[in-house]
Structure 1
Amino acid sequence: MSRRSRSRSYSRSRSRSPGRRITLPYNAQPISDRDYFLKSDEFRLWLKDEKRKYFDELSGDKARSYFRKFVKAWNRGKLSREIYAGVDPSATSASSQTSYKWTFASKGSRTDHEALRSVCEEIAAATYAKNGSSSEPSTSTRGKQVGPTLPSSTDLQLARETEEDMRETERRYKRKRDKLETRDRIENMVGPKEVGREGMLEKKRARREEDRAYRERGDEGLEADESTLMGGGDDFQSVLAKRKAATERYSRAREMRDQELREKAGQMKEKEKATMDMFKQMAAKFG
């Protein structure tokens, strides 16, 4: 057997030989990338304490990248003993797990705050009981926790996204309303002006009238009858009629626009009311 073949055989035998297994605290078992959801509570605590980051501030790819680092540290026994012992979500406050602040909760009464805290604790307890039933408990003191079916973390994330969408819709509506009010104030001061083809034709007609009047003007000055001087001519009446028609068109368009904005505002308020009712029902049911 040549030296090269012996070297290859030796390298293959080394790669197949099992590595030395590290004894983890509390007889914890090694984990892999597939335990992303099973070890989510321990992962969140490690992120906050070691990396000074919150899970809800990370994208999906970034969270997966950090979890791979967490898996390596876990399997090497580099984490704190309390993580290997297991994390009870019901024993930690929600503010320590996320930087998100509920805007509606900050405006509620003390009773609302207590109801919301109770719901959060019930959610954490149910999640912990679900995870504990799929694997062996890491300590003998951890008991089985039974509770009602509660909204999952996906439902709560959806509620947060819905609230953010509603705030963004309200901001867009406010900007549009301010823009329309500014334009209305300007048009009220200077009056509505003709636009498009009709406006161009109106300017051309006015220019032709001025040119014709200048050509017909004699050396003794402009000759005009009493009706023209007093504003009773056909041209003047036509201009007044057109201006009145333009004003009516503007009023109708403005009324339709205001009605559309009012309908959108009503729909947005209904969605907001439905979201608030959902959270109130949750608090009343589990509080």
Structure 2
Amino acid sequence: EEEEEEERRRRERKKQDKAYKERRKLVEEELAPKPEAGSREAKLEKKKQEREYHRKREDSPERFSGDLMGGGDDFKARLAAKKAWQEKKKEDQAEEFRERKAAYDAKEEEKLRAFKEMVESGNFTRL
């Protein structure tokens, strides 16, 4: 029974809230009618509201409270992770370079060996 009573009260509150919102909307429209959707005035009003919203966010003390109170741990963690990633990337690139250089050196050594062999055997003509 208690649950039923609570459910009934919740539905009643919801109904009252809806009625209040409808009355409020009617009063607002009578006092300050909104411009038609898509009209120039509506677009200007929307831009004005967006500016006000962003200005409030910029001036909001919550935006910087973590920095003021020394709560930059998340930033430090991200910075450390980025640095670790960069170091790993740098090491991977260096390893790749070493592998390519070793392959190039081996190829070059093979060419030099073949050239020396050709010189020793005398199988070449002078230009």
TM-score (ref. length: structure 2): 0.44
TM-score (ref. length: structure 1): 0.21
Higher relative contact order (CA 8 A, sep 6+): 1
